[in-house]
Amino acid sequence: MSVAGGAAAGAFKVNSLTGLEQASPVAGRVRWDPPRSLWNGGMLAAALVLAPLTFSWGAFLIFLATAGVTLCAGHSVGFHRRLIHRSFEAPKWVDRVLMWLGTAVGIGGPIWTIRLHDSRDWAQRQPDCHWFLRHGKPWLIDGFYYLHFRLELARPPAFAPGPVADDPFYRFLDRTWMQQQLPIAALLWLGGGLPWLVWGVFVRVSACTTMHWCISYFAHTGAPDDWSVDGAVIQASNVALLAIPTMGESWHGNHHAFPSSARHGLYPGQIDLGYRFVQLLERLGLAWDVKLPTNLPPRRGLTPLTSRALSAVSPEQAELTAARTVA
């Protein structure tokens, strides 16, 4: 069977993608992406030049606060766990707030993020994929490509995100994701002048963008921990050192095993601030139908690699996979 045929046969269903039987994640061209390259490069250059000149402990606290709120509530919970994986339900106004905070991170709008995530997710679960999608270059070179280039597949899947694409608010955020830094910059300027603006926008955006690449690189180039996914060229790993700055996103091996789970840190000692925020929303009545490995339908194609792996799943999942336990 050809690589493309193998990919089609093992196609993993991703919500926003169609035509997977004809698509291939292997062949494609890497092209410079001028808008994002200039955005990412400009933010980083401004941060490197201006941050040392404007440092104060107050400005640093602004950086921590704005990065923490946008990464946790916006990117981790809003974009990733709610928008992409639908791991919980929430009122429409809460969705709107989370989507704006996710856009305020400075990486992209909600619809663009769905496409980026789902395309990579689908490709990494095939028998093979393009090096750009599996971080196939050395560390710093990969980071350069990740922040300044894009991949155009020769046979891409079709993108059909559904009602999200017709939502005027989501489309507005997608069109104006860069401009969403302007109201933040204005408020920071009024509150603390240039130091707050530099640390709350330039330093924050460049740090968040770099962290997004870092967790993707290290989580997709290491060995699996507790679970392996059958037929996937990428076996994600957990990256404990990045758990706090990524709000729990670094428990990526767990996430690959149970992508619909609102909880990524499944085992003792695995700090997951994003899930803690979901729990807070749930206690306030602002989130419900929270999905966890203990209440998700059993998933085939998983192999437990450790004795503790089954302790975090439902009895049905444990029964389905117990015979495949490696350790």
Question: Region 231-259: what's the mean pLDDT?
Answer: 94
Report CA Rg, the chain.
Answer: 20
Q: Which residues contact 180 (CB under 8 A, 6 or more apart)?
A: 100, 103, 104, 173
The model's pLDDT over 45-63, given as tens digits with 9 standing for 90+, comes to 999 999 999 999 999 999 9
pLDDT at residue 73, as a whole number: 97
What is the arithmetic mean of pLDDT over 128-132?
Answer: 94
Residue 13 confidence (pLDDT) above 90: no
State the pLDDT at residue 326. Answer: 58
Average pLDDT value for residue range 110-128: 93
Residue 15 pLDDT greater than 80, yes or no? no
Q: Closest Cα to residue 74, out of 254, 288, 274, 276?
A: 274
pLDDT at 305 > cutoff 70: yes
State the chain's mean pLDDT as an integer. Answer: 91
69's tokens: 């709120």
Q: State yes or no: pLDDT of 38 exceeds 80.
A: yes
pLDDT at 18: 87
Structure confidence at residue 16 (pLDDT): 85
Query: Is residue 8 scored above 70 in pLDDT?
Result: no
How much is the pLDDT for 325? 64
Q: How much is the pLDDT for 322?
A: 77
What pLDDT does residue 319 have? 87
Cα torsion angle, 223, 227, 233, 236, sign? negative
> What pLDDT is attached to residue 222?
86
**Inter-residue contact 74 to 105 (CB < 8 Å):** yes
CA distance 252 to 250: 5
C-alpha to C-alpha distance for 224 and 221, rounded to whole angstroms: 9
How far is residue 249 from each of residues 38, 116, 253, measured CA to CA in Å?
27, 16, 10
Q: Are 31 and 133 in contact (CB under 8 A)?
A: no
| Contact between 249 and 80 (Cβ < 8 Å) | yes
pLDDT at 281 over 50: yes
Among 278, 266, 271, which residue's Cα sits nearest to residue 309? Answer: 266
Give the pLDDT band of residue 5 (cuts 50, 70, 90): very low
Q: Which of 232-236, 246-250, 322-326 is predicted least confidently?
A: 322-326
User: CA angle, 79 as apex, 74 and 81 as ends, to 5°?
Assistant: 105
The CA-based dihedral angle spanning residues 204, 210, 211, 213, taken in that order and rounded to the nearest 10 degrees:
150
Q: At which residue do the structure tokens 């689908």 appear?
A: 122
pLDDT at position 186: 98
Cα separation, 74 vs 68, whole angstroms: 9
Which of 6-15, 55-64, 74-83, 125-134 shows the lowest mean pLDDT across its residues?
6-15
**Averaged pLDDT, 255-283:** 97
Please give the Cα distance from 86 to 163 (Å, whole number).
Answer: 14
| Domain extents in the chain | 23-324
Q: Which is it for the CA torsion 27, 32, 33, 37, positive or negative?
A: positive
Lowest mean pLDDT among 18-32, 65-79, 192-206: 18-32
